[in-house]
Amino acid sequence: MEKQRTPDGGPLRRIVIVGGGTAGWMTAAPLGQLMARVDPKARCEIVLIESPDIGTVGVGEATLPTIRFYNRTLDLDNAEFIRKTQATFKLGIEFKDWGHLGNRFFHGFGEFGPAIQNRSSVMHWLRLRSMGGMDSHEHWSTATVMALRNRFVPPDGDAPSAANAYSYAFHFDAGLYAAYLRDYAMARGVSREEGTIVDVSVRPGDGFVTAVTLDDGRRIEGDLFIDCSGFRALLIEGVCKAGYHDWTHWLPCDSAQAVPCDKTAPLTPYTTSTARSAGWQWRIPLQHRTGNGHVYCSGYTSDDEAGRVLLQNLDGPALGEPRQLRFKTGMRRKTWDRNVVAIGLSSGFVEPLESTSIQLIMDGVGRLIELFPDKRCDRHLANEYNRRMAQQYESIRDFIVLHYKLTARDDSEFWRYCSGMSIPDTLNHQIELFRRSGRVTILDPDGFAEPSWVSLLLGLDCWPQRLDPLLQQVDERALRTHFERLRQAISQTVDGMPDHGAFIDRYVRAEPLQRARP
């Protein structure tokens, strides 16, 4: 029997990124920065192939606070980035009609006050609430109070205070962001090839991809191929047949329509998610327009009806016709297979309810750099990459499923399905632990933190039946005094902040675009 050939070792000499858009250029930028610092004799060439005939999805315009660390790693000028991408600031997400009609709650970025005797502030708040006389926990979230008053300044100071007890992210035009990173990457040596891939060559024996051929006959060879081809998954599925974990039984939405509209005042520093009869609608305010979309399940409503609901609930005139999107929630069984790594939509898709798509791109390229291979693409590196990506995907999946499962809505067949559906054992454990003890467990250290889970659990009316008995060690009167002082400090601090729109106009206002991007 012939022994399978082991790929030759040695450093990578060329990385080929298949696909542009947000995923492609967010991958190319840090790789270009990394290689620009390497000795030219040992430098790895980076080539990105982008087809002018294939559009990008472009629904991921809201982000999580970690986008700031990605930008900082690239040494981007924050003010320039905001102006170039028509960005605004994001303090969290406002949820409307989730859980029950008329419900409203906020998922803010930040804590609900400092821990007390090694127990979270919320646990102590729950104890006081059970005794009566406590307002909503949202009064102790600086980000939430800021958002509801349309105020914004970046956190200030090093000593813990209400002036820095919050974080923030951005809303931006994903197309403009990709173009901004394209210029950044190409300035650091990344080359761009325009064309459509019509053939893929693989090495006999081990199935490693060796080259791709473009429609004009050019053949581009490489040692490592990064699949940023979106839902097409040209290499990871088309060539490697990595397989797919289908999660539509937990996340049944399979369609979306997206359309921008004229911007309206006030310029809110948060995303809005409004539950509809067969899904939900997003609203993302940018400097030059407002992004909107309707995510829905085609089994419970028609495309025409979904489009009507979307257009009927815009703040201003639509800037074009809604763009139709189809998807299947889930993830690849392997996101790194042989010498192919999938990043972005080619690796999987969890609907944009909590703005995780760009987060998964950042973490995908970050882990690739951390586990950077040589030409052999050792399978143990790939296994570790796949383990960590799977853990993150599953944690995000559970957090999104939580939004649907904890509903009391019975006004439509869709919501009746969601309330009655089975859920992953991991999520069931997290819900029941909180319901029975008020404790939150975090299964993925890189996933959503305790305050985020608390915001959703309480916002969806999941209340603990019992509390940690050690909470009784804190004097009730002293505890109430502490919470009242903290609430006043937050309120007074936010009162002194400028309006979100005024802050942007003063410091980071972008030049008007001639035409709003669809």
Q: Which helix (H) or strand (E) holds 340?
A: strand 340-342
Catalytic residue, from 90, 263, 334, 405: name it: 90
Question: What span, in angstroms and rounded, lies between the C-alpha atoms of 118 and 108?
Answer: 22
Extended beta strands in 78-179, E state: 88-90, 92-96, 104-108, 169-171
Amino acid in position 468 = D
Structure tokens at 166: 């919050």
Angle at 315 between CA 310 and CA 319, to 5 degrees: 70
Is 252 within 8 Å of 220 (Cβ atoms)? no
Please state the φ and ψ torsions of residue 177, each to the nearest 5 degrees: -65, -45
The count of residues in the chain is: 518
**Cross-strand partners of 271:** 93
Nearest residue to 460 (alpha-carbon basis) of 99, 144, 213, 143: 99
| 3 in active site | no
Structure tokens at 126: 């729950």
Nearest residue to 401 (alpha-carbon basis) of 126, 102, 98, 59: 98
Question: What span, in angstroms and rounded, lies between the C-alpha atoms of 181 and 453?
Answer: 32
Angle at 36 between CA 34 and CA 42, to 5 degrees: 90
Is 166 within 8 Å of 91 (Cβ atoms)? yes
Question: What span, in angstroms and rounded, lies between the C-alpha atoms of 199 and 217?
Answer: 10
Angstrom distances, CA of residue 380 to CA of 337, 371, 445: 11, 10, 22
- Annotated catalytic sites, by residue? 90
